[in-house]
Structure 1
Amino acid sequence: MSEHLLEATTQDGACTLSAAELLPEESVRAVAEEIWLSFIGEEEFLIPLDGEAPANPFSAWVGIDGPWRGRVVITCDESVAQDLTRCLLGEETVGELSQDDVEDGFGELANVVGGGLKALLPEASRLTLPLVGANPPAHGEDMFVIQSIWRGQSVDIVISSVPLQY
């Protein structure tokens, strides 16, 4: 795929392919499912289904910078982000999680998913630091959403081409 990407760049190095062309849904799903099994749990499945929009949306995102510039955003209900963080921290996690714990854990999940997707792009690409919040930045025009269900709750992954601002 990276040879195809390099052929689809302009003289200034900008990529002319859309997010969906570079990171097709089946590739994004494969990366996300592998990460879910490795980091969330061997019996924790991310099922490709449409879900209801979260009542209390919470997002974590990373930018990918290189010949293609874009963003990977994971959005779910804040309570789902807490459960995902518990899974990341392991069974020994008891009691309430701090907001910092949830932001760190959920941000790390976005970082790992973004890193897995970055691996499908040229080596010149790099990730930005993960950010977390209730309001992710605007998506690019060529965005596409991969809807899934985890433990009966909606988890969306949005990929879009966007100019990154530092």
Structure 2
Amino acid sequence: MNSKKIIGITGYSGSGKTTLLKKIIQLMVSQNIKVGSLKHAHHDIELDIPGKDSYELRKAGAQQTIIACDKRYALIEETPNQPVDLKTLINHFSDVDIILVEGFKDEQIPKIMCHRNTIAKPLFIDDFTIAVASNEPLNTSVPVLDINEPEQIVMFINNYLFNG
């Protein structure tokens, strides 16, 4: 994709992607790794509030709107005729050591597939799947990590990205 270090965390709804990512991020931050996160939503998202100035400016037709305060800012960009691609989103990140991407399972990025035996769905392993995080032993062509041991998964990610 580019020179940025990217790992995708994929899996079906209910497989524990967000729970795992929260733990991975906390562990990486404790190791002084600067983490960016990118989440794909399958529904229309609304970040600003109807009636607020930023919402009204965007609804008036602004292509891009930035909402800012002293501690954070958010860029909202309208893409009604062209769904945004992962490369464009990744390029918005700066000053991070790694970008953890939730979702985007069809993208050509290294990814860890989350799998739980309570989800009655087949494994989704493609040429870019580098491991499976699961709560049960599996017979796969890629390493199987314990989804309940985020330290093990962080070690795997660090070895893959920073020592590979």
Q: Structure 1 length normalisation: TM-score?
A: 0.25
Q: Structure 2 length normalisation: TM-score?
A: 0.26
As a proportion of its length, which structure holds more helix?
A: 1
